[in-house]
Chain A
Amino acid sequence: MNVISPEVVKQVAWLARLRLEGQALDQLAAQLDDILQYVQQLQAVPTDAVEPTSHVLPLANVLRPDKRRACLSQEAVVRLAPAAQPPFVKVPKVIET
């Protein structure tokens, strides 16, 4: 019995903005199914009275003085873009005309 089908993997791939087709999709779906089958063993662990841990340190509300600080220049940041027309980052057309 599969935990995850190629159709669901394809749907998840779309959510993650990845393209999967044909053999690559089937192979990945089989591998993910293996892993998810293995992970099922957690269902046997009683956890009704257990709080989840998202973070191990007892830190809460880390604050700092609200002071102005230097940051990277616009030029230094725009220079990193794979396509740019300073001071703008270039992207494919997003508005249909």
Chain B
Amino acid sequence: MPSGELASKTIHELRALLTAGAVSPRDLLDDVLARIDRLNPSLHAYLGVEPQRLRQQLEAQLAAIPAGRLRGIPITIKDNICIDGEETSCASRILAGFRPPYDATVIERLKQEGAVLIPRANMDEFAFGSSTENSAFGPTKNPRAARLDVVPGGSSGGSAAAVAADLAIAALGSDTGGSIRQPAAFCGIVGVKPTYGRVSRYGLVAFASSLDQIGPLAKDAQDAAILLSVIAGHDPRDSTSAPVGVPDYARELAQPVRGLSIGLPELPAEGQTDDVRRAIEEALRVFQQLGCRTARVALPHIDKAIAAYYIVATAEASSNLARYDGVQYGWRAPRGSGLRGQGSGQPPSPEPPAQSELIDMYLRTRTEGFGAESKRRILLGTYVLSQGYYEAYYLKGMKVRTLIKQDFDRALSRCDAILMPTSPTPPFRLGEKIHDPLQMYLSDIYTISANLAGVPALSMCCGATADGLPIGMQLLAAPFQEAVLLRLAHAYEQHTQWQTRRRALRRGD
């Protein structure tokens, strides 16, 4: 078999080949490792890969798990999901070298099914970003752009680029405001943000605890369904995980989509490009040909989603990131580094002069350990939570969140799924938005509300620009209706060429 052939296959294709004995898990891993060796230096999808360690892990897995739904399948893990003994840094200096002593629940479940885990998919530091340019260790490039001058999206940009370029068969990412869906759209693959509470967050390094969800990034809807079936379900270690039964999502794909209704919201068109608008119109025609009905729905508060989100999410982030102080784990600034002696650490009056060596260490560790975007979000979150501003910002943000959730409750009672773009624009160029944080935030306009409302959403490829860059569409459903999203995505894939086109574009890279 030619090099790269196995790495280009899906989980369900490989499962058939592996079960029939036509392919060995060792050959599969070697093929993926050869791709990584050749392409990762330019793509930087991974922060570091240890081939020998992965081969040992495969042998251990094959011996321990005689049969599993993911036996021998290489799956990459975003750098914010804890794997026992593997470096998990959230692409931040402040966690550089941190090796958690336990597995996240999703990792435990993947291991039980025999998966081979490739750690350290690159990301925006602490998942703060929409381009992976905020990684402390350098950006990931979008493999779909021939000149590698385009962002893969973010924050799960490493996961998405790895799957799109066949450096992994599938991936896990996390989504707080679009961090699975937008990179999936930018790299032309399928990404699912499950319902809040569908997947355990135990072992996911927290960004915004009321918004974060772990989900799959995959080459097609069937693979996403297989992965979601493995990772979803109640976990006593996460008190926010929902005690709701998990369907066999892969089996649900066979259900017909005829008669399902697709809701079309009126969206703020500001910043939406013509090629995105046309691709969504074209996708709607496909669903109509498949027998779906359409319904107009209203989401009157969606234009306020970004403002509400950047209050709620930064407030939660600032308290979650308070734990990084250089004491119990992670990185500590060495003695005498930084700005000490210039009076810069002095608390502004009327704060008491609480200077001590310990506080000085906190200040140096956090100032040198966090990147620019992390500092912005910590400051914003600390500000909106502080005395005198709490009601005007944080309380207001939580109230507008209620209105957004009510919008979705109403809209999703009138249709089975809402269709909209994943991003208002096709993938943008490296450096295009990185110096203007507000512009970067605005690019999340269509993804953020699903997190505020807690509803599941799926992104997949539905078109391409004249340059061949992918355009993504997003489907959203009522809580715990992931199966409807996956069915629609699967039916769409069977009747369009975007899936095969994705493969054709990758050949010869």
Contacts and interface: CB of A to CB of B under 8 A. Distances in A.
Q: Chain B CB within 10 Å — which of A18, A28, A53 has the most?
A: A53
Given A51-B399, A55-B210, A91-B327, A15 B98 contact: no
Nearest to A7: B348
Contact of A11 (B304, B348, B364, B397): B348
A64 B239 CA distance: 10
Given A14-B351, A81-B329, 13 more contacts: A11-B348, A16-B382, A17-B366, A19-B338, A32-B383, A36-B380, A50-B399, A59-B240, A59-B242, A62-B240, A80-B101, A82-B330, A91-B327
A72 interface: yes
A64 B400 contact: no
B311 A15 contact: no
Interface of B: 98-99, 101-102, 196-197, 210, 236, 239-240, 242, 301, 304, 306-308, 310-311, 318, 322, 325-332, 338-339, 342, 344-345, 347-348, 351, 356-364, 366-367, 370, 372, 375-376, 378-380, 382-383, 386, 392-393, 395-403, 405, 437-438, 441, 453-454, 479
A17 B362 contact: yes
A83 B380 CA distance: 31
Contact of B396 (A38, A47, A83): A47
B296 to A, nearest CB: 23
A72 to B, nearest CB: 6
Contacts of B383: 4, 8, 12, 32, 36
A74 B306 CA distance: 43
A16 B380 CA distance: 10
Given A39-B311, A82-B332, A52 B376 contact: no
A7 B208 CA distance: 27
Contacts of B242: 57, 59
Contacts of A17: 325, 359, 362-363, 366
Nearest to A4: B383
B379 A13 contact: yes
